[in-house]
Amino acid sequence: MMDWTDRHCRYFHRLLSPNALLYTEMVTTGALLHGDKERFLGFNHAEQPLALQLGGSDPFDMVRCAGFAEKAGFKEVNINVGCPSDRVQQGAIGACLMASPSVVAACVTAMRDAVTIPITVKTRIGIDKQDSLNFLLDFIGAVAEAGCDTFIIHARKAILKGLSPKENRSIPPLNYERAYEVKRRFPNLTIVVNGGIKTVVDIQQHWQNVDGVMIGREAYHNPYFLADIEHLLFERPLIERQNVLHNYLPYVEEQLVEGVSLVNLVRPIFGLFASQAGGKHWRRYLSEEARKHGAGPEVLLAAYEAMSPFTAIN
């Protein structure tokens, strides 16, 4: 999720979920080869296990970037074949690559030959009018033959012309059965489903048909969902929201010393009290106070205290 799951967000999510495999925001090969490589590859050890999601289509560039990822300590490189944005399409990467399985396959082969960490692919179920089951099976088959054994399937097709990336996350209907069918046809592959998953019941249903689930924006807007998953599916004690906040404070202090803006550090925690009484006051207080000169960790505690006139928080 570009501009969303940065390293501060991932650190916060790890506090909520010890078991999840975390993914970076999508990083293009151009950004790594010609931009601030350290910014995109930097992470806190506590975020592990961590995968780099990479956007690109040139095998040589993909190999170089996979090498960067392995050297930096990432546990996986995931090739993004799902992003529908115009900017990404102009670079011949993202969802438009579904129409070129040989290109994706060439990248997979070259990357697997160059690094020892897994190379996986995140894709849609189709693009535009190319959205038949056979189209998806042909794509999966060609890339699997090149050596990819794990596919994350966003169970919507992408409409590349006429819809924004935001609209592409809601207007094309979800078709989980299509992802299930891929698993039935390719039982030896690891198939992970993504898209519209918002409850533990949803996850339990998907687990009966595929190997795993990926949680996207729900983890950002309602991060405590991750704690519910840990408690109900992995039988870990349920951590209270205020304890998550207190566990995040030392990281905030450390990052402020390093010169990171408090605005960037509070952005991932806006949704910590989503659906809770006083949650709107929490978000408003953080939004207003974090921007003030000299603001520090005390802003987070004050935001929590500002919720106290409302009902108890669990």
Q: Give the model confidence (pLDDT) of 149-163 as tens digits.
A: 999 999 999 998 877
pLDDT tens per residue, the chain (314 residues)? Answer: 566 789 999 999 999 999 999 999 999 999 999 999 998 999 999 999 999 999 999 999 999 999 999 999 999 999 999 988 766 656 678 899 999 999 999 999 999 999 999 999 999 999 999 999 999 999 999 999 999 999 999 999 999 887 787 888 878 899 999 999 999 999 999 999 999 999 999 999 999 999 999 999 899 999 999 999 999 999 999 999 999 999 999 999 999 999 999 999 999 999 999 989 889 999 999 999 999 999 999 999 999 998 876 544 44
In which residue are the tokens 């102009």 written?
90
Quote the pLDDT of residue 65.
98
In a domain, residue 263? The reply is yes
Quote the pLDDT of residue 311.
47
Same domain, 250 and 193: no
CB 24 within 8 A of CB 49: no
Q: Give 102-132 pLDDT, tens digit per residue.
A: 999 999 999 999 999 999 999 999 999 999 9
Please give the C-alpha separations between residue 238 and each of 7, 223, 232, 243, 305, in angstroms, as whole numbers. 24, 13, 9, 10, 22
Which residue is catalytic, options 83, 96, 107, 148?
83
* Domain's final residue, options 179, 214, 249: 214
The residues near 145 (Cβ < 8 Å, ≥ 6 apart) are 105
Q: Which residues pair with residue 53 across a beta bridge? A: 78
Strand-pair category, 150-154 with 119-124: parallel
Quote the pLDDT of residue 90.
61
In a domain, residue 234? The reply is no
Quote the pLDDT of residue 169.
82
In a domain, residue 61? The reply is yes
**What size, in residues, is the chain?**
314
The CATH number of the domain holding residue 256 is 1.20.120
- Split into its structural domains, the chain has a count of 2
Alpha-carbon dihedral of residues 207, 7, 106, 64, nearest 10 degrees? -150
* Domain's final residue, options 214, 229, 260: 214
pTM of the model: 0.93
Q: What average pLDDT is seen over the chain?
A: 93
Same domain, 208 and 245: no
107 is catalytic: no
The CATH number of the domain holding residue 137 is 3.20.20.70
In a domain, residue 113? The reply is yes
Quote the pLDDT of residue 312.
44
Count of helix runs (H) and strand runs (E) in the chain: 15, 8
